[in-house]
């Protein structure tokens, strides 16, 4: 009887119809606990990828995923709770900046993060480049640290949204990842289960992002905001460019060092700093009802006064890491045996520095992983010295490679020169923030 | 590595691309022997249902399915070998007529058949209504009987096209049956493995058929003929109407009795007889190169002379059944305890007698099965007394119900009156043969 019902539901989606919450729950829970076969769930997912899901289906799916596991209870935290999520990019160390910055303003950031895969980095890998840093925190320890410091970053708990993990593993091997509703419900289920009242999303668009175009990213952002708002949370999303890497450090320890360095400079002096300030501003204004300009000004002052960097040091110490990383990154973070500068092969204006290819170079140097179980090297990667719009001559240093061997460094330098596109004409600096959805008005 | 390759192939089909033979074989054989997961095959099948397959893919799939098992070797049979396949309908006893008729003309029909499911009947179930009739024949016995009699009907061997059985079982539970390429490759793989040089297809269209419209049936017929021809066989297909039941007996023993009765009358006196004569004519002309008119005239003579009926009796005897069924069906076939006439509720012209609903009535009386493992009752069913285009008055007998109980007979009579649509205007008799694909010119 159940198998028959599953076939009917799959057929309805195959024919372009929509399912109600109880019907979606029948499929997801049946797949999780038995009664719905792997093949049935995979056929349903493929039908959904090709036929699409309604917004109501996306909301219901997120709700069903949240219901499959435990939820974090943030009610005992003193300040407004904020969560921040990026859909993943290259050189995207915003969490290392946004968390301490919001904490310094009195908000509470409880961040459950993932690891890097393919060309994208992961926040857990970056923080674990700091000697001693622990990301495996149980809920009590996580909430205690947030209560004391205002922010903490922990590995996603196995007890939250188990259905999302099981479904994602199936989507990953059945070419059914690429559905806005499936992506949005997966992203938002984790945020909803993590409990924050305000959710700030950074949806990346472009070469190095999951969503290739700003329109696709905007659609995903709108759906995520709709799911969050529908579940009673305050939600805002920025759609941001991921054509070139966001930060200049690409590699785990190098991104920590860059974050520390940026927290000692003016936020708007770099694209990464400027975006981190905007994400924190959106989060704070949405959480408190404060005007955006006032929130931005307050956060800029906290950044410039060193309070945000101090907050980062306290978080590192609370999670077992060496807090001196915030004073002397080079003295604390592991160093690669080979460090070599790469110079431009000709002169011109930097027209493209494709994020995906840069991420893949860092990955092959050892900073990333192809499979979930691979280890990562905290020391290796790239420090870019130029970005799109810069002018270079033959001999200008365009990057520094941190490698495990001379051979790796040779390869990375050659490859970087290959992918760097120079133009004879001046190139305008592209915007970082492309669109904004939801949030404070 | 293999799992990765499967994902790439699924993604290509998802995006509307085509796969080569080696790529399709990788998926099908990987699913059969390990390396490709159930979810991967199901996602691929759903992508194919929604995106379609090319004709080359359909040909390759049939070839891959045939390659997965053994083939029958018909080379030692003396005459031209013919196979006949119907896509399934209600009251479709053509095999019981076509096989003996072709055998009486010197051709050899080796027929591997299936059982009924849902509202459609199966040839094995019908023949097994004859006491003693055995359908489980090993290849040697099957070929010996065909060599002696000219025709035999056996259950599909487990050793032929195992991949088709495994794939079909997955399609059945994942709502991925409805793809012309998947249906055609499945049908034709069984025909190709069964070895006949000539293949005659009866592709049904309409209410009681798998293909709802003549256009869809024609598309399927053309693809089947293309696959057969591509594999070096002679192939012809008729597209025929399945809006009302083809024969007047609906139920296993009742269909055997009707076949015997029809073989004692002129073939063109009934729709079932006329279609059987045409299918045999197409098969004989395609197999021998004879002109259609000459083949038809020869077969009509064999029918009218009683040679075809004699051949049916020899086949029944060779397969262990009581050959007296061909002289006195009522004396040999099991009888239902309740036999009752159903009369029309009003007067008018028969406009519709929907095949699916009629098949479902017979099924609920016990003639059919909902699940593969259900038993069937050989005695029960319906004998229709009218067809579309006939004129009836209140009190005209429209059918005789053969039931296991008075209660069943009441229900069936009421239900039959419900589904019988009468019109105030005269209704033309609809054609049986709608189209023809391939074959002798």
pLDDT for the residue numbered B79: 87
Q: Report residue A197: phi and psi, to 5°.
A: -75, -30
The catalytic position among A84, A85, A296, A402 is A85
Closest Cβ opposite residue A174 in set B10, B49, B175: B10
ipTM for this prediction: 0.86
Residue A436 · residue A236 · CB < 8 Å: yes
A371 CA: distance to closest CA in chain B (Å): 11
Average pLDDT of span B343-368 = 95
pLDDT for the residue numbered B303: 98
For testing contact with chain A, the best of B46, B51, B179 (most A CBs within 10 A): B46
Q: Where are the beta strands (DSSP E) in A8-156?
A: 81-86, 108-113, 151-155
Chain A positions contacting chain B at CB under 8 Å are: 3, 6-8, 10-11, 14, 37-47, 49-51, 170, 172-176
Number of A–B residue contacts, CB under 8 Å:
89
Closest Cβ opposite residue A39 in set B38, B49, B51: B38
Are B39 and A170 a contacting pair at CB < 8 A? yes
Chain B positions contacting chain A at CB under 8 Å are: 3, 6-8, 10-11, 14, 37-43, 45-47, 49-51, 170, 172-176
Question: Which residues on B lie below 8 Å from A168 (Cβ)?
Answer: none
The catalytic position among A186, A233, A270, A402 is A186
Residues B132-166 pLDDT 10s: 999 999 999 999 999 999 999 999 888 899 999 99
Are B50 and A46 a contacting pair at CB < 8 A? yes
pLDDT for the residue numbered A41: 97
Closest Cβ opposite residue A43 in set B11, B37, B43: B43
Are B175 and A47 a contacting pair at CB < 8 A? yes
Catalytic residue IDs of B: 85, 164, 171, 186, 190
Average pLDDT of span B272-281 = 98
Picking from A118-122, B28-32, B281-285, which range would have the lowest pLDDT averaged per residue?
A: A118-122
Question: Which residues on B lie below 8 Å from A32 (Cβ)?
Answer: none
pLDDT for the residue numbered B372: 78
B46 CA: distance to closest CA in chain A (Å): 5
pLDDT for the residue numbered B229: 96
Compute mean pLDDT per 10 residues along chain A, 441 residues long, and list them: 76 97 95 94 98 96 96 92 94 96 96 82 93 94 96 91 93 92 96 96 93 94 96 97 97 97 96 98 96 97 97 98 96 97 96 96 92 89 98 96 98 97 97 91 58
pLDDT for the residue numbered B1: 44
pLDDT for the residue numbered A118: 76
Where residue B273 falls among pLDDT bands split at 50, 70, 90?
very high
Residue B209 · residue B242 · CB < 8 Å: yes
Question: Which residues on B lie below 8 Å from A45 (Cβ)?
Answer: 43
Residue A320 · residue A118 · CB < 8 Å: no
Does residue B204 register a pLDDT over 80? Answer: yes
What pTM was computed for the model?
0.88
Question: Which residues on A lie below 8 Å from B41 (Cβ)?
Answer: 39
Question: Which residues on B lie below 8 Å from A27 (Cβ)?
Answer: none
Q: Based on C-alpha coordinates, what's the Rg of chain B? A: 22
Residues B231-262 pLDDT 10s: 999 999 999 999 999 999 999 999 999 999 99
For testing contact with chain B, the best of A44, A175, A212 (most B CBs within 10 A): A175
A166 CA: distance to closest CA in chain B (Å): 12
């Amino acid at each position: 009887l159940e198998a028959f019902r599953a076939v009917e539901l799959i057929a309805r989606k195959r024919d372009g119809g929509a399912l109600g919450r109880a019907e979606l729950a029948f499929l997801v829970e049946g797949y999780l606990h038995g009664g719905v076969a792997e093949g049935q769930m995979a056929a349903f997912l493929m039908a959904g990828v090709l036929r699409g899901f309604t917004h109501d289906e996306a909301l219901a799916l997120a709700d069903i995923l949240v219901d499959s596991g435990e939820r974090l209870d943030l009610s005992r935290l003193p300040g407004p709770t904020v969560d921040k999520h990026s859909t993943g990019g290259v050189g995207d160390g915003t969490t290392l900046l946004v968390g301490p910055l919001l904490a310094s303003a009195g908000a509470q950031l409880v961040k459950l993060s993932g690891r890097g895969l393919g060309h994208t980095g992961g926040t857990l890998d970056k923080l674990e480049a700091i000697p001693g840093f622990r990301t495996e925190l149980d809920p009590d320890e996580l909430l205690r640290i947030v209560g004391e410091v205002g922010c903490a970053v922990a590995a996603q708990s196995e007890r939250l949204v188990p259905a999302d993990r099981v479904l994602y593993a199936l989507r990953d091997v059945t070419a059914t990842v690429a559905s806005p509703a499936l992506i949005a419900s997966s992203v938002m289920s984790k945020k909803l289960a993590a409990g924050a009242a305000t959710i700030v999303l950074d949806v990346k668009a472009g070469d190095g992002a999951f969503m290739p175009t700003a329109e696709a990213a905007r659609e995903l952002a709108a759906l995520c905001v709709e799911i969050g708002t529908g579940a009673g949370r305050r939600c805002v999303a920025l759609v941001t460019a991921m054509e070139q890497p966001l930060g200049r450090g690409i590699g785990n320890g190098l991104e920590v060092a860059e974050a520390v360095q940026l927290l000692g400079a003016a936020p708007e002096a770099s694209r990464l700093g400027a975006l981190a300030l905007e994400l924190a501003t959106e989060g704070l204004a949405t959480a408190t009802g404060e005007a955006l300009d006032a929130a931005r000004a307050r956060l800029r002052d906290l950044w410039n006064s060193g309070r945000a960097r101090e907050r980062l040091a306290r978080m590192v110490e609370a999670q077992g890491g060496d807090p001196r990383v915030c004073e002397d990154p080079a003295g604390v973070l592991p160093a690669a045996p080979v460090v070599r500068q790469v110079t431009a092969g000709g002169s011109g204006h930097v027209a493209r520095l494709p994020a995906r290819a840069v991420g893949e170079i860092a990955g092959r140097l050892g900073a990333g992983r192809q499979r979930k179980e691979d280890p990562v090297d905290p020391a290796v990667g790239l420090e870019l010295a130029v970005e799109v719009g810069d002018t270079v001559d033959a001999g200008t240093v365009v990057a520094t490679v941190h490698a495990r061997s001379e051979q790796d460094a040779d390869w990375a330098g050659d490859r970087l020169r290959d992918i760097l596109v120079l133009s004879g004409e001046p190139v305008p600096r592209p915007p970082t923030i492309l669109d904004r959805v939801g949030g404070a008005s």
